[in-house]
Structure 1
Amino acid sequence: MTRPQIYLFGDSITEESFDVGGWGASLANHFSRTADVVLRGYSGYNTRWALKVLDRVFPESQGRDGGTETAPIALTVFFGANDACLPNRCSAYQHVPLHEYKENIRSTVSFFKKRWPTAKVILITPPPIDEYARLRYPFENNPEGLPERTNEAAGEYAKACIAVATECHIPFIDLWTKMQQFPDWKKVYL
């Protein structure tokens, strides 16, 4: 009997989710006796790049007995932090316009629903951005000294993610809103 699987698909937030105390590690611990949590996180990726690798990351395969593969019970899709980079700043190469981001998320959901109709697809919004911390500890060479991401832009992508989830009648986790509801969220979560 094959153990049920849960796939985590996303950018570096997903890739690093198995670090000590990470959300992926917590899921794996929670489901340790009942399901395998499978990591498919790609640092730096946006939805445009994710679409290009979907078939390779999630190939159609045959089961051991020649039958079809077992569908995962659930998948998370967690993109948007890189898509929301500002188009005229140092991380512009990662930027995806909002309308394209929405279409890319729709296409990703459609891919999974066609591949595994019984799997529950869950969208996760991009998290909020602490602009001050990003300037203080930049990931890119930033000669202008301007934030390459803003919380406002991340919020627009979060709203777009929620809109797609609503259109597709699938669940979502509004991380952007939930994290900011906690006092000192910048110190606690980012």
Structure 2
Amino acid sequence: MATSYPQIVLFGDSLFQNAVDTVDGFSFQAALQQQVLRRFDVVNRGLSGYNTSHALRALEQIFPPLVPGSPKIEYLFILFGANDACVPLPTNHQHVPLEKYKANLARIITHPNIAAHEPKIFLVTPPPLDQILRTRLDLANGHPSVTRHAKISAAYSEAARQVAAENDGVTLVDLWKGIMDTAIAKTPDFDTSGPPLGYPEGVRGYLEHLLPDGLHLSSESYRIFYDLVKHHIPEGDRLLPDWQLAPWLEEDEYLKG
């Protein structure tokens, strides 16, 4: 039977789809794959534009029933919410109400096709939003108003925290906090008693570098993200016996006869 490596699956929207890209010499997915090389396959199932309702409709195509010989998902990272948090507009239909978003996340986490793998599940909060920049870009793209609000997006991140806390065995990865903490630390003289960074009544600060279009992650943000998750995944070790294939020295001895 062909060797089947266990999987680490990245299931989410464009924030995971873009994780395969190499920007400024860094790729989130490549860094994760390097960490687990020859022990796990990192599988990208990031779907740009998708919200949690889209994800549920596609879930059985992405995660077919577990059958003998099929790869087992050992780790599952779930990152949705940036699109669910869109405000309803005639020019944008990605919005999912907050309570439905929470229910959808719970349905994804507990879906039988996922539960059959018994994976370690990580629920990732959507990152912060730079509404100041998004307003300018959305208006330039023909929307009647900004498609996302920083305060609303923060509420969806909080909802993800709640879902993680309410579901046994689910680990929270707080990407919102990781990015915002970095932005605050790198914004000189930022007044934490005022509006948060990226809010329309405040300033962008260092979010300018972490969210280059106000929504998606820069390479620096992906490095922050990787630093948040890497300690949850075992490091690869060239001497470990649990590789699927023998080390080359053993194979060399076999070929010698």
TM tier relative to shorter chain: 0.7 to 0.9
How big is each residue's C-alpha offset from its partner over 1:1-23, in whole Å with a ceiling of 9 and x where there is no partner?
43221000000111111000242
Aligned AA (1:115): A
Amino acid at match of 1:59: P
CA distance in 2 between counterparts of 1:155 and 1:176 reads: 8
Please name the residue that 1:25 is paired with.
30
Cα deviations across residues 20-78 of structure 1 (Å, max 9, x unaligned)? 0242232122222321100101110000010001001111253xxxx253421100010
* 1:89 and 1:148 in contact (8 A); partners too: no
Alignment of 1:83-162 (within 5 A): 83-88=84-89, 90-91=91-92, 93-111=93-111, 113-117=114-118, 119-138=119-138, 141-144=141-144, 146-162=145-161
Residues 5 and 71 in structure 2, CA contact (< 8 A), matched pair in contact too: no
In 1, distance between residues paired with 2:18 and 2:140? 18
2:207 maps to which of 170, 186, 190: 186
1:8 maps to what in 2?
10
- What is the alpha-carbon distance in structure 1 between the residues aligned to residue 180 and residue 124 of structure 2? 15
Matches within 5 A, 1:67-78: 67-78=68-79
Q: Which moved more, 1:177-186 or 1:35-44?
A: 177-186
* Range with bigger deviation, 77-86 or 130-139: 130-139
Answer whether contact 2:12 2:46 (CA < 8 A) is retained: yes
Q: Residue 86 of structure 1 contacts residue 149 of structure 1 at CA under 8 Å; is this kept in 2?
A: yes
Which segments of structure 1 move beyond 4 Å, counting only runs of 4 or more? none
The 1:116/1:140 distance shift into structure 2, 3 A limit, reads farther
Determine what percentage of the aligned residue pairs are the same residue: 35
**Could you say if the C-alpha distance between residues 139 and 15 of structure 1 is closer, same or farther in structure 2, counting changes exceeding 3 Å?**
farther
Q: Secondary structure at the match of 1:171?
A: strand
Quick one: which amino acid aligns to residue 49 of structure 1? Answer: H
User: Can you give the 5+ residue segments of structure 2 that lack an aligned partner in the other structure?
Assistant: 187-204, 212-257
Q: Secondary structure in 1 aligned to 2:73?
A: coil
When normalised by structure 2's length, the TM-score is 0.66
What amino acid maps onto 1:124 in structure 2?
V
The residue type equivalent to 1:153 in the other structure is: I
Contact 2:33 2:41 in 1 (8 A): yes
3-state secondary structure, aligned to 2:151: helix
Between 133-142 and 41-50, the greater mean CA deviation after superposition: 133-142
Distance in 2, Cα, partners of 1:128 & 1:99: 20
| RMSD (Å), alpha carbons | 2.0
- 2:49 and 2:140 mapped to 1: Cα distance? 11
1:89 Cα deviation from its structure 2 partner: 6.4
Q: Does the residue aligned with 2:138 lie in a helix, a strand or coil?
A: coil
